[in-house]
Amino acid sequence: MSATFTQDEIYRYSRHLMIPEVGLDGQRKLKETSMLLVGAGGLGSPAAFYLAAAGVGRIGLVDDDVVDASNLQRQILHDTAHVGELKAESGKEKLLALNPYIEVNAISTCFNSESAAGIARDYDIILDCTDNFATRYLINDLCVLTGKPEVYGAIYRFEGQVSVFDSRRGPCYRCLFPTLPPPELSPSCSDAGVFGILPGVIGTMMATEAIKLALGIGSPLVGQLMIYDALETSFQRIAFPKQANCEVCGQTPSIKSLLDSTQSCGDATLFSLSPDERITPSDLAEALQKPVPPLLLDVRSPVEQQISSLENAVNIPLEQLSDRLDELDRQKEIVVFCRTGRRSARAVEILHSAGFPRVKNLTGGINAWVSQYQPGAFQY
């Protein structure tokens, strides 16, 4: 049965109805379309707002995280009053306040290989608004295996990317990026930072592509990667083909079911360290009082030292560590730290693999240290 409209809806969408490419029939298509946004953060915020305003009939928000004050610099779907609340629920409230004529489903569940198919089953278009590679590959494989189109977006500091993956008529994400990059080359926003306005540009472009797909108008970015540089205010479009040997959408695919994605949820550390490879701030404070204290290795970006630092620490950013191992004494005890302990956990693995026998990760990173031992310094 075709969607019907009230007088209030007709007036609300009237600027759409006057566009020949949309009109009443197109607005009806939007109302009959369902879209799932995986991630209600930086990219999901502007995308969800514009999809709701446009009249997309059913929107699903998947996010198992809660609103943190550090999100508010860019995640405009949330506000100060909702800090500590589930992002999916916070987002639902905002979208319905903007447009009460749509349906919004808040899904505060981890989107992983066990739950993904069930969550996405009843949605027509999937938007990848995530910030980690494990989930990106999962979304891609799900869309290929179920024949759904995917709108992809990614951000890093001042650069953003947008594309549309639809294996029925073009390449998929694995055609462009066949293998998962190493963690040190794929930092999240919490590790690398992001220009606050950038997600607004990329998220809005994602909403544009999703609406074009729903309406069947224009030229969606299938087989095209749009790259935006905010510093240069430049756009670059790169064409890429479907790969015959792609593991999931190629001629003889090897991936026929969703792969395990236990690394895709929450802010869990991707590396399992033994108790002997960890040190608490209190234990570090004690160790620093010894005649021969451990070497402190800071694997953060140099700019982060403007916020907080540990005296006498050696700074080697994680992405440079493998090339600068000769700057470190293999015989010394080394305590590695970053902001929260995530990047430094990876550094511990790199050092162990390179033959450094006495390496430990500072639990909770410099933020935990500042909290206990430098109350006048900043956490971030």
Find where tokens 């009443």 sit.
24
Give the C-alpha separation, 321 to 346, whole Å.
Answer: 10
**Burial class of residue 347 in the structure, from the number of CB atoms within 10 Å of its CB (0-12 exposed, 13-18 middle, 19+ buried):** buried
246 catalytic residue (yes or no): no
> Please, are residues 66 and 108 in contact by the beta-carbon 8 Å criterion?
no
How far apart (Å, rounded) are the C-alpha atoms in residues 290 and 140?
52
Catalytic member of 189, 246, 249, 265: 189
Q: Are 151 and 125 in contact (CB under 8 A)?
A: yes
Catalytic residue among 110, 172, 249, 338: 338
Say whether 189 is catalytic: yes
Residue 34 contacts residue 123 (beta carbons within 8 Å): yes
Give CA–CA dist 318/299, Å, rounded: 5
Q: Is 292 in a helix, a strand, or coil?
A: coil
- What is the helix (H) or strand (E) element at residue 199, kind and residue range? helix 198-215
Q: What is the largest CA-CA distance in the chain?
A: 80
- Known catalytic residues are 189, 338
